[in-house]
Structure 1
Amino acid sequence: MILAIDGVEFSYNSHAVLQDIEFTLARGEFLAILGNNGAGKSTLLKCLNKILKPRRGTILIAGENILKLNQLEVARRIGYVAQRYESGRVTVFDAVLLGRKPHIKWDVTPADLEIVYRILHLLGLEEFSLRYLDELSGGEQQKVIIARALAQEPGVLLLDEPTSNLDLKNQLEVLRTVQNAVREQNLAAVVVMHDINLALRFADKFLLLKNSTIFACGGLEVMTPANLAAVYGVPVVVARMQGVPVVVPL
């Protein structure tokens, strides 16, 4: 397993946000974290990246305890795409090159540049390499931010609502980009999502949060009408449209 979480708990002051969080993830797996607003999804992601320090529990990546590593060492192992980011007047190439920062000692090497070229090619961003981020569409910017995280060469990729404020076409393209990266680079991805149907289309594992803890975790077998109704408080049916599972509220 590339990622192993055991007994993680987190509180804001005396308010418990996460309790007894436990799951594992292997390379090549795409995990969607689902649940109502305020369920602790983004907080869990920040705990995994050591942005927030859990009150208790362990977070292991490739057997190493993240909580015992400094932020530079964490950045060499985990790529993080936040919910919000600043675009700024920086070119696409330079933005992706920033992903190499945790690995650069004195100066950028030919190997660093080669990694950037490879990531730009992988995500279809070569034609944008000399354009500024603030000249791109929202979907194109999101791909660049993902490319920057991939340039870190992480074992685990964390994304916090990567499709928020994107149209349907860009939602599909961004999540397909993540799915392809997981498969082609043998990563593990943990993605906070609100859209259950997008999660069903792209993820292969699902973690349902309710009342600060895990209500269910596993493959498609946990995405049942009963579980979804219990977590979201809305009766649903789970059907298939042209082979794709979809959730329809009743």
Structure 2
Amino acid sequence: MILSVEGVEFSYNSHPVLKDVRFEVERGELFSILGNNGAGKSTLLRCLNRIIRPRTGSILIDGVKLSDLSRLEVARRVGYVAQRHEGSRVTVFDAVLLGRRPHIRWDATEKDMAIVREVLAALRLEEFSLRYLDELSGGELQKVIIARALAQEPRLLLLDEPTSNLDLKNQYEVLRIVKDVARERRIAVVVVMHDINLALRFADRFLLLRNGEIYACGGREVITPENIAGVYGIPVRVEQLGGVPVVVPV
């Protein structure tokens, strides 16, 4: 077990946002957080990265409480990709090398360089190594940001809507890469998503949030018309297409 979340609650100015959230994520697993706008998905992700601190409850990574770790130790264990990021006048290689900062004492070593090259190859970004971030397409930039997080060699990778603003091809390519990385590196991946059908295609398990509370949690069996209607307030059918469940509004 890499991630264990036990009774996490969070409030903004005494307004409850998360209430008694509990779940676990195994190594090699892609875990998707679903829910409508304002359900608390991004807030939960920020708690998992200790950007904000829960009011109550605990978060454990490899059995160690997140609250007991220094910021440096958190950065070594947790990779985080936020919703929005902008290109800048830095090369792809240097941008990914920044992910090694939690591990670098004085200067980047050959090991650090080798890890960057390995990550760039895994995400098929070698040909962009010397390109500047502000010259990349949205899909290319998203892969670079994910590559930087992977260069940290995290035990837990957190992604906040990684496919937003991407075209269909890049949505599938980014999530396929993330899923492959989770399995090959045996890390836990937690992804906040809006597209239920993308989640059904790539995620292993799902957490459905409604008003900051867990509505359902589990495998594909929890993606039912009743649960979707309860969370999103819209009637749907769940059909099978090529062996993959597809949610269709009715």
- Tell me the TM-score normalized by structure 2: 0.99
Q: Which residue of 2 aligns with 1:112?
A: 112
Q: Which residue of 2 aligns with 1:45?
A: 45
Give the share of equivalent positions with the same residue, in percent. Answer: 70
- Structure 2 CA distance for aligned equivalents of residues 212 and 137 of structure 1: 34
Q: Which residue of 1 aligns with 2:21?
A: 21
How far off is 1:211 after superposition? 2.0
Unmatched 5+ stretches in structure 1: none
Does 2:40 correspond to 1:60? no
Contact 2:38–2:211 (CA under 8 A) maintained in structure 1: no
How far off is 1:68 after superposition? 1.7
Matched letter for residue 2 of structure 2? I
Q: Which residue of 2 aligns with 1:141?
A: 141
- Structure 2 CA distance for aligned equivalents of residues 121 and 168 of structure 1: 22
Moved over 4 A (4+): none
Q: Which residue of 1 aligns with 2:221?
A: 221
Match of 2:143, SS state, is helix
How far off is 1:9 after superposition? 0.3
CA RMSD, 1 decimal: 0.6
How far off is 1:64 after superposition? 0.8
Q: Which residue of 1 aligns with 2:89?
A: 89
Q: Which residue of 1 aligns with 2:174?
A: 174
Match of 1:76, SS state, is helix
- Structure 2 CA distance for aligned equivalents of residues 198 and 206 of structure 1: 12
- Structure 2 CA distance for aligned equivalents of residues 242 and 65 of structure 1: 42
How far off is 1:69 after superposition? 1.3
Larger deviation: 235-244 or 201-210?
A: 235-244
How far off is 1:70 after superposition? 1.9
Match of 2:234, SS state, is coil
Matched letter for residue 36 of structure 1? N
Q: Which residue of 1 aligns with 2:191?
A: 191
Matched letter for residue 232 of structure 1? Y
How far off is 1:86 after superposition? 2.5
Matched letter for residue 79 of structure 1? G
Q: Which residue of 2 aligns with 1:121?
A: 121
Matched letter for residue 172 of structure 1? Y
- Structure 2 CA distance for aligned equivalents of residues 145 and 240 of structure 1: 34
Describe the superposition over 1:159-187 as per-residue Cα deviations: whole angstroms up to 9, x where unpaired: 00001111111111111111111011111
- Structure 2 CA distance for aligned equivalents of residues 138 and 249 of structure 1: 29
Match of 2:186, SS state, is coil
Q: Which residue of 2 aligns with 1:242?
A: 242
- Structure 2 CA distance for aligned equivalents of residues 26 and 72 of structure 1: 23
State the aligned residue count. Answer: 250
Describe the superposition over 1:182-236 as per-residue Cα deviations: whole angstroms up to 9, x where unpaired: 0111111000000000000000100000121101111011111111111100011
Q: Which residue of 1 aligns with 2:160?
A: 160
